[in-house]
Amino acid sequence: MKSTYRIFREIFPTMRLYMAGALLALLFTGGFFLDSLFLAGKIFLLFIATATLADFYLLFLTGRELIQVTRETPEKFSNGDDNILSLYIRNNHAFPLNAEIIDELPVQFQVRNFQLQVSLKPAEEKQMEYKLKPTQRGDYQFGKTNVYVTSRIGLISRRYCFNNEPVTIPVYPSFLNIRKYEFLAVSNRLTEAGIKRIRKIGQHSEFDQIREYVRGDDIRSVNWKATAKKAKLMSNQYQEERSQQVYNLIDMGRTMKMPFHEMALLDYAINSSLVLANTAVFKHDKTGLITFNTAINTFIKAERKNNTIARMLEILYNQDTQYAESNYELLYVAIKRMIPQRSLLILYTNFETLASLTRQLPCFQKIVRNHLLLVVIFENSEITEFRKKEAKTLEEIYTQTIAEKFIHDKNLIVKALNNHGILSILTRPHDLSVNLINKYLELKDRQLI
């Protein structure tokens, strides 16, 4: 019997021959396969080159501007509200196009990935809308509108630039909010915005005229002297008391620079003061304005004219904090000198500690001798939301304890004001307008002003 070594030595030459034959067959078929791949690659490259030339011709050599874009912007933006902008885009050619629109937004928005995608049929025009929400007043500058156009082939993109001249749009205090509440008031739908219905107490006593008694009139309104003269029953007619003075006092100190949801407390105060002023005018009251810090910056005498709100809007457009401690002694002197008639004074400010309020209490006590003072204080909504979270670590417990102290201090401030006969509102910044209008209507219906 042959050993394994001898068997392998006899078989190996035969295996080597088979392997050589298989290698030659592989080289022959592989070469044919490579030739086929090379031919397919050349066909594919030819197809790509042809498609690219066709795409280039459609986008660059048709002799006309493929697309037109126009940006439509409002004359001014409303601060803290969604403002709508429109882009009108038209395809001027006889084949469909795809467009990517990149509008150069103002730097205040800090948006770097804004783009719109649109597909247009031949000779089709579309309107595209997008919203911007500014959070600070001032001038906002728009740049160019860049449009990248591609055909259905999609191998080449052509860039167009429109609106090459920069456009500056001013951002005013929230005039959209003013219109919203005015519309709800006119249509008697203020409850939809959270405004409460206040039950009127007593009867307003401002005399209007004497007229003939009509069945159903209050017998207590009969004017007996006029009845004796006319020889028939005559009745006194009364109307709702009007023309009370309402002043918005806006603190421009550093405490009003505190931001909540990207808007400063000053902006919340300005927006709400305009809403309240418009509501007061709608209720036939006179409205005025004082802004102060280390000096009296603005004074508008209380009046009820068609342009009162517009004047306030223009004045408050450029107002800003001055990062100094507000001078309440100067405010008291200005009120005593410029507002002789008893008025409702609404002071927009913020106190974080009881000690900071205590320093200003003597001025507030002097003011309330001649006027009805309502102090608006802002609740730190972020601390309140943080306080509701569950504490799991020692550090979180400590932090929530500090948050609880801040919340407690706010309540102590409100209590201290009430103890000295000073009205107050502790409100979240977002709820200021609703809470303020509710308080104003309550005071008016209670005949406190």
Q: Is 309 left (phi over 0), alpha (psi -120 to 50) or beta?
A: alpha
Q: How many residues does the chain have?
A: 449
Residue 130 CA to residue 139 CA, distance in Å, equals 19
The residues pairing with 377 across neighbouring beta strands, listed in sequence order, are: 426
pLDDT digit string (tens) for the chain, length 449 residues: 445 444 434 434 444 444 555 545 555 555 555 566 677 777 878 888 888 888 888 888 766 677 889 999 999 999 999 999 999 999 988 888 999 999 999 999 988 888 899 999 988 999 999 999 999 998 999 999 999 999 888 888 888 898 888 899 999 999 888 877 765 554 454 554 555 554 444 444 555 678 888 877 777 888 888 888 888 888 887 655 557 899 999 999 988 988 888 899 999 999 999 999 998 888 889 999 999 999 999 999 998 887 889 999 999 988 888 788 899 999 999 999 999 999 999 999 999 889 999 999 999 999 999 999 999 999 887 787 777 778 778 887 888 888 888 888 899 999 999 999 899 999 999 889 889 988 998 888 777 77
Write the CATH number of the domain with boundaries 67-172.
2.60.40.10
User: What is the location of CATH 2.60.40.10 in the chain?
Assistant: 67-172
Strands 77-78 and 167-172: parallel
Determine phi and psi for 439, rounding to 5 degrees.
-65, -40
With H, G, I as helix, E, B as strand and everything else as coil, classify residue 339: coil
Rounded to the nearest 10°, the torsion over CA 280, 282, 286, 289 is 50
Number of neighbouring beta carbons within 10 Å of residue 355: 9
Pairing of the two strands 67-72 and 83-91: antiparallel
| Top-level class of domain 175-199+241-445 | alpha beta
Map tokens 């498609």 to a residue.
51
Q: Is residue 138 helix, strand or coil?
A: strand
Closest C-alpha to 318, from 272, 262, 263, 252: 252
Contact 40, 47 (CB under 8 A): no
Q: Where in the chain are all domains bearing CATH 3.40.50? A: 175-199+241-445
